[in-house]
Structure 1
Amino acid sequence: MINPSITGWIDKFFVENESNFIDYSNGYDTFYSEIRESGFIYGHVISLNLKSSIDLKGLSHDEITKIALLNSMFSIYRIVKHDAEKDVFVEQVNLFYKKIQHENYNFLNKLFPSGSQSSILENNINDRIQTNNNIISKNFSHIITNALLFLDVLAFHHYLIIGELTTKHLKDFELSCIKIVSLAFSIKKEKSNYDELLIKLFENSLRYTKFKSVENLQLETIPLDKYIFEIEKLYLLDLAQMALWSDELLEVDEVIFLSNLTRKLEISEKNLFESTTTINVFIKEHKKEIPFFNYSNPVKHFYDQTNNTVTKLITRNKKRLTKEIIQSKELMILLAQSTTRELDSDEKKKVKKQLLDICKSVPSLTIFLLPGGGILLPILIKYIPQLLPSAFNENLED
């Protein structure tokens, strides 16, 4: 299983999927349509565009998004260059990121001076995925990954075809995206929790501009004629659809806006129909999974997020964690007794200390040693009975 949270995952992904990549060389239509259906365009990936699906169970949303970004960029590379050479592709992506994020790229080079091209790309992708500054704000936020991540794919496409890329091009494209989104939001007569969270999502995804509603903004004043590739135009239309979506219903003003945008982008009404239909189907089928539609108070969301994180860590380190716990006889006894009586304060301290000592020996579990990590221990303790042999209590009593 691929683990995008540790080094080496890119090389492993290419080895395991050498004959599993889809060839989109016949055109962009199928590529964009399938990318949209995967949820990557909407910032919520539910599948990967490969010939045969791979197991995503146990991977977090940001880990799946990392793979989706890499796979999408490789698909674009194959369309443009008609080449499937992994090493050349990785080198080209790194050159692309070097163009658009000089400071971060130089910092990573100093931090990992002898890193392979794949390891450098892993760090670049990690940097592009994350939008929050720290784990606390990440846990308290519904915004986990970059919603405008497809801009990287479009910019890479531009770079491959033109052979050059300026920061101004990225800034202008991002600004056009936000102007269209802002204009779409301004048309909506009623705002919902979904709209408020979507605004936060876009706001946290911006890298070059600030999200703000522009007064007296008109569609006619947004320079869209500079976007000559159809996938760029389709993406701008889909962003407007995201901003306008509300219970599958479009008001008259919203329908008119989308029609006018379609004409200004010089794409067909068929494209508009496909865009509208796809987002309706996608949200209807996956609404329960999308954070925007499951708004809860910050405390509950924090618990859900940390619970998912701890569960993932325990699952991936199950064998080693079980071995370490079984070897600690005093800890085993205390854990067994805790199922039948309340431990006193000294015993609780011993359990906490010994669990933290075990976490020190398992690198992936050092999250429990970070400031505030102690609040995660109850979640870990909750899963311990599931790790140990079912009869461990009876055995201890003997």
Structure 2
Amino acid sequence: MVLNTSVYRKIAIRRCVTPQVKYIVCLALSLFTVNVYAIEKQLNLKDAIQWTLKKNPELKIFEFKQNMLIGRERTANLTPAYELDIEAENFAGSGKFNQFDSAELTVALSSVIEMGNKRSARIALVSSSRALLIAEKEVAALNLMAQVTEKFVEVLAAQQRVLLSENALDLAEETLKIVSQRNRAGATPEAEVKRSKAVIAQANLTVQSEHKRLEYLKLSLAAYWGETSVSFSRVNGDLYQFGHDSDFNSLFAQLENNPAIQIYANEQRLKEAEIRLAKTESNANIKWSVGVRRSQESNDTALVAGFSLPLFAEKRNSGAIASALAERDQVVVDKEVTKLRFRNYLLRAYSNRKQAILTANALRKSVIPMLEEALEDTQLAYQKGRYGYLDYVSARQELLNARRTLIDAASAALIYGAEIEKLTNEALSL
């Protein structure tokens, strides 16, 4: 997304010569840098993203998951535990075994010899899980950045809509002055004066509504880094700076850079580690024990030793291996499905962005200038009695609609650009 750090400043412009000049001054002041940090606190997109990545609780969850995997890694690195076995026989029975004199006491130490490099397979599985967790965190961060960017653009557009609503109020007041002059001259009925006053009342409601919407959007933006109140007055950015497009094939080739695609490579490595661990289970562990046995009756001692080995372990483990292989193959298919879905998203964002830029440029360069001239001509003609009230109002409304469409198109172009950047993990060139 292309948003520079130009600073906005709100000033009173009601005394400008014409409503058209008032709007141009508002727009110009919203695009050029002015040093007003001593007056009001500004927010740029870079700071909004940095605060979100630092404070958003969605990313803090990964710290706990990382600690969990560290614990799992310590456990996986452990060798089999030793067991102390104590066994007593031939006591508390009948006859000569009714006492402890004929008892036999055995104390033995036992453990397991792991076969098939099970320990290294467990460690490799945890390492792959940690790599996958890092990729998942990158995906979450990228999604958050895209959401913050979209909300930032909405605030930026809302600021322009506030200016537009104030400009519409200026135009309505200018219209009332002209209509009142014609009414006093007897050229316009009183009904047109009342209609003009009603338009002013509606314009005032629109101004209030746009201010409320702006405050809500600012609060929604601040919520991304955990603030419950807005600590900034305005956001800085250029709503009409779109950058340059790459061709679609180049953008599609960059889809491989998307962490959501790369995550499948990490997930595939995780599944490979699970397969290796499952295969090691086909090698049965050998359980051994060694100890000392003492006979109370003869007061003699002897060594005892033994081992045990499960049979048919490979056959019993074949189902787990088959399941792990199927899960690995599914990851490969899921990756291709995701790439196809992302390609459709990219195509939609690419096409819509081009159309939005085309619309915005056409409105700025030709449509709006012509409508401004048409409004001036219509206003002069109305004052001279050559045009009626509806002609004058229609010309004014057409200009306001075009300016509103310009804001919508420009914000759409930036939002679609942010979606392209999220999909490709690359910034659009200037």
TM-score range, shorter chain: under 0.3
Question: Which of structures 1 and 2 has the bigger CA Rg?
Answer: 2
TM-score computed with the length of structure 1 as normaliser? 0.22
TM-score computed with the length of structure 2 as normaliser? 0.21
Query: Which one scores higher on RCO, CA 8 angstroms, separation ≥ 6?
Result: 2
Larger % of strand: which? Answer: 2
